[in-house]
Amino acid sequence: MTTTIPTALRTAGLAALIAALAAPLAVPAADPHPPPAAPSATVETDARPFPSGAPGEDLDAKVRAFLDRSRGRWRDMNVPESDGKILYDLIIANGYTRALEIGTSTGHSGVWIAWALSKTGGRLMTVEIDEDRHREAVANFREAGLADYIDARLADAHELVPALPGPFDFVFCDADKDWYKNYFVAVLPKLTVGGCFAAHNVSERQRRGAWGTGEFLAYVESLPFMETSFAPGSWSGLSLSYKRAER
């Protein structure tokens, strides 16, 4: 059955609806004694400012362009490009984040190490005793866009390295060869299990003591909790000693 609503009734109902919609909404009066606000959650952050050159395609392009421009001019005791690539791959493969470099020179190895650390969320401390080399290295780090990932120290590593608190999960040693064993002994307690002590200009053919590294190699290979190998593809020689246990 169909019911017909009279026209007058429909008109009156529509007028009442329009009047109701036009009326202002009633807003409750503010409570003069509101309950205390709940405490906001706090987020802990790293005290170190986030690097301005954030890791990503832009930083990669800047580092690659710097290395391309600089190719062929790395002298003054710097590592060759092939060894820089080995260090880069090693850090990323193991996820290392707390790196120490003993012997900055003018920064070639530091660029490769810091570039890798920019991807793992890490940071490099590097030590150089020569003021001119240190100054040039700092300029190179800035030009490469990696300065925020590097703490470059002008210091005598004989004194500074034993005083550093650590911990470190990656150490690259490329300084005075006859002091390699002393550097290793100084950082060993600060090297985390799973960490790596990489020593430049050390290879199997140097077991007889070439360049003063023989004593270091004999010592590190005598430790049962250290596992030492040699990086394939490094014509300069690069030993990789991994800490497998505390003792």
Closest to 189 measured CA to CA, from 216, 229, 162: 162
d(CA 218, CA 152): 31
Cα dist. 185→32, 38, 113, 153, 216 in Å?
A: 69, 53, 22, 20, 9
Mean pLDDT of 29-50: 35
Q: What is the pTM of this model?
A: 0.76
Q: Give me the pLDDT at residue 39, please.
A: 30
Examine the pLDDT at 17 and tell me if it is beyond 60.
no
What architecture does CATH give domain 78-243?
3-Layer(aba) Sandwich (3.40)
pLDDT in tens, 97-113: 999 999 999 999 999 99
pLDDT in tens, 54-96: 457 799 999 999 999 888 776 666 788 999 999 999 999 999 9
Q: Give me the pLDDT at residue 235, please.
A: 85
Q: Give me the pLDDT at residue 207, please.
A: 62
Q: Where are the beta strands (DSSP E) in the chain?
A: 98-102, 123-128, 150-154, 168-173, 191-200, 226-230, 238-243
β-pair partners for 100: 125, 171
Contact 75, 105 (CB under 8 A): no
Q: How big is the chain by its Cα radius of gyration, in Å?
A: 32
pLDDT in tens, 207-243: 655 567 889 999 999 999 999 999 998 988 999 999 9
Band (pLDDT 50/70/90 cuts) for residue 247 is confident
pLDDT in tens, 176-207: 999 999 999 999 999 999 999 999 999 887 66
Mean pLDDT of 171-178: 96
Residue recorded with tokens 């059955």: 1
d(CA 113, CA 109): 6
pLDDT in tens, 143-168: 999 999 999 999 999 999 999 999 99
Give the start-to-end residue ranges of the domains of the chain: 78-243
